[in-house]
Structure formats: C-alpha cells, structure tokens
Structure 1
Amino acid sequence: MTTTFKTITGIMILASALGLSACSSSGSNTGNNAASTNAPVAEASAPAQPASTAGPSPAAAEQSAPPAATAVPDTAAGNGAAAEDSATQLKELLELAKQGKVPGVEYAAHSGMIDEVEAAWGEPDTKESAGKGMYSTYGARHVVFGWNKGSRIFDVRSSAADLQQLTLKEIEQTLGKPDDTAVNGSDKIYIYHAGKEYQLKFIIPEATGTVDHISVFSERDSFNNMAG
C-alpha cells in the first residue's frame, strides 16, 4: 500500500509539473503572438517624386523673348496727306483770287477802298509810295494793301505763315505752269490768271525756294489813278 501511495503521489507530482509546463508554454506563445500582433507594420514608402525641372525665371524668359518690332513711320502716307493739303490750299487761293481776295482778309482788290481798311484796322504801320501807287503795311496782320490816288485798292498781299510753306513744285502740280513770270531782284514771280479781272502772284526768293508772299492784283485799277 505504501508503494501504491508513492506511485500515486509521483503521478500527481508529474501531472502538476506537466500542467505548469503547458501553462508556461501557452503564456509564452500568447505573449509572442501579442507582440507579433502589436508590432507596427512598416508603412509602404511613398514612391519617390521625380525631380521637377525648374522653368526659366521671368527675367530669363524676358531676355530670351524676341525684341518687339519698332513701328516705322509711314512717311509715304504723311507725304501724301501733306500734298493733298497743299493742293486744297492752292485751289482755295485761286478761288479767292477770282474775287480779288486773299485768305483771312475781307477787303478785296478793285472793290475795296483804303479808307474802309483804315476805319476798321486803324492807321497802317507804314505808308509809302512804290511802283504804281501807295502801299499800306499792317505787320501784325501780315497784310499789305496797294492803292491808287483815288483810294481804290488794286493789290492785296499776304505773307501768312502757312503760305510760306508752299514751293513752286507744289504750285505747279496743282495749278499747272504759270501764265507768266517776272523777276524782281533775286525774287522770282509766278503769275496765274484768276478770271478776267485779277492775277494771282507767288513771289519766291531764290534764297529760300518757298513763297515769301502772295499778291492778288488788279491790273486795270493800278492804271486808274482816280477812283471812278
């Protein structure tokens, strides 16, 4: 019986040892599994972005841009407009001359009287005898009147600035060749008939080649020394 008791006791001790060993093994496996479960999974690394190619800086882009085209003045158009303006001006001069007048002056050759001018404009800057009559000069107005002994105006002259831009070439292109020419010292005079009563004269000094003044002239009244 003693032997049987010892055997039973040994079996129980062995079973207890085996149970403890199993528990220890189970705890170890559980801990390993927990550690394995709790271990962070390494995140997949994001794919590397390709290095961006830097574009040219604004300054570099500006330098590389082709230079803007420079506008070239249309000289042909400008010359054409100037020629058209001078042609219009010359045609107007001829039409006024047919009335005995120059631009900007209401007093006409043949029909005007110097007394009327002096009443409206006052005394002239100078009054002197020249050629076929007397001449009164109004410098500020760029106008000279020639008048006979009867006070009738036979010559109206203008030296306005716009007239002094005209050349013989422009005059002939619009009015054609002059009907007559004359010379007074170094001045050349180009004469155009303006109707039956008047002459339109362009006086051009040789030194300048442009008009110095124009004259609307009544030949008949230059001989008629007494107003009738």
Structure 2
Amino acid sequence: MTFTGNPGNEVEHALRQVAPQDYEAYERLLECLARGHVWMLLWQGEPGSPDAQYGNMEVHGSRYAPAFTSEGQLHESRWDRGWEVHAVREIAATLYPDQWGLWLNPHMQGGGVGVPYLDLRRIVGGLDKLMPGPVRVGEPALDDSAFWAVLTAELGASGVVRAAHRAYVEPALGAPRIVIGTRLADNDPATVDRMKQAMARAAGMLQGIDISSVALDDPYDPVAKWMREQTRSFL
C-alpha cells in the first residue's frame, strides 16, 4: 500500500500499520482518530452553508462518508469540490446515529480504510467503555447457580430493573466476559447507579470472569440486539 502522508500526523502513521485481522493496529488507529481531525469531502454546497452535503459511498452494503486525513492527502487526491475540517469526535457524533461510517483516504492505493459506524460510536462513547468488535456472542457457559441466584436477587431488590438478559461475549480484543442486558424503570443516573451497585455486589462472587452491562434497548449495540432476539429475561 503506497502512502505519502505527513509523517508527523499520528492518524496517518497509525493508518500505515493497519492490516486485515490486525485488531490491535486498528484499535491504535481509533485511538488516534479520537484525538484527531479529518478533511470531509463536500459533494455539494459551500463549507458551512445549510445546503452543504458530505460525499457518500457504499461498501459491501454499508454507507460511508469519505474523508482525508490531512490537507496533503486532500491535494494528492485532486478533489475539486468543497471540504470542511472537523474533529473526528464531532463528525462521528453526526454520522453514527444514521449508521454512516467514515472512509479514510479513498484515493489511496488499495482503496483506503473504512471505519464502520459502530466504531465511530465507540469513539464518541469512549473506546475504553464500549467493546471492540467484531464480537462473538453466545449463551453464558458459567454453571454457577449460586451466582445467578444472587444476581437475580440483587437486581430484583434494586427496584429499578424491569428485565435482565444475559450473554457470553468474546470481543476482538480483551478478555471474554458476561454481559447483562438490562431494561430499567427510567434513564435517571441514580437509577443506572442502583443497577450497577446491585451488579457489583453479585460480581464479587466471581473469580477471574469479567462482567459488564448494556442497555437492553440500545438500538446500536450488537450484543443487546442478540439478547433481544435470542434470549428471555432471567429476572
């Protein structure tokens, strides 16, 4: 892959390292993007105008907005229409709710690198808070009736959990974990905190197994989607 970007640009440096199935290199790219900026292509309209529209492309059925990683890449591509510079966190927050990803340097030999909308969501929500994909999801293999009984009792006693589903998840990076999908009485921070405290009390029984939670009705989370479709509440 030929690449002639600015050697001082950390996004471009990370982009050089990305290779198929190298999830660690891709994660480093996401970390750099979370701190960086991109040059967004405008298909029509002037920068900052109400009618300005980003470019768009489709790859394997998924939608992406093309962008460059530096002004140098912009000029190298010979793009002859308008463009805007945005912090990646800012543009990611605009794109991911409509399930648009970001495609970096589509003019590069090899076609550039795509960042799917779920990874833009991770950039916005926190790379350390949302699991890296792709993920493998299945039924929990933990045969510990005492733990499940305590967890069920704690969640029930919290008074805020209306439903609780479970899954065993193997992320692309990091240790496998048990994920509990919860539907709460409301979205008040105090309600969420009560649920997390209940889970933490039960998790004290586990040894060497991570446990985390996800909002069961999260429209973007693939684990929540799997639980909604494949499991029933154990509460």
TM bin (shorter chain): under 0.3
Identify, as 1 or 2, the structure richer in strand: 2
The structure whose Rg is larger is: 1
Q: Which has the higher contact order (CA 8 A, sep 6+)?
A: 1
TM-score, reference length from structure 2 = 0.21
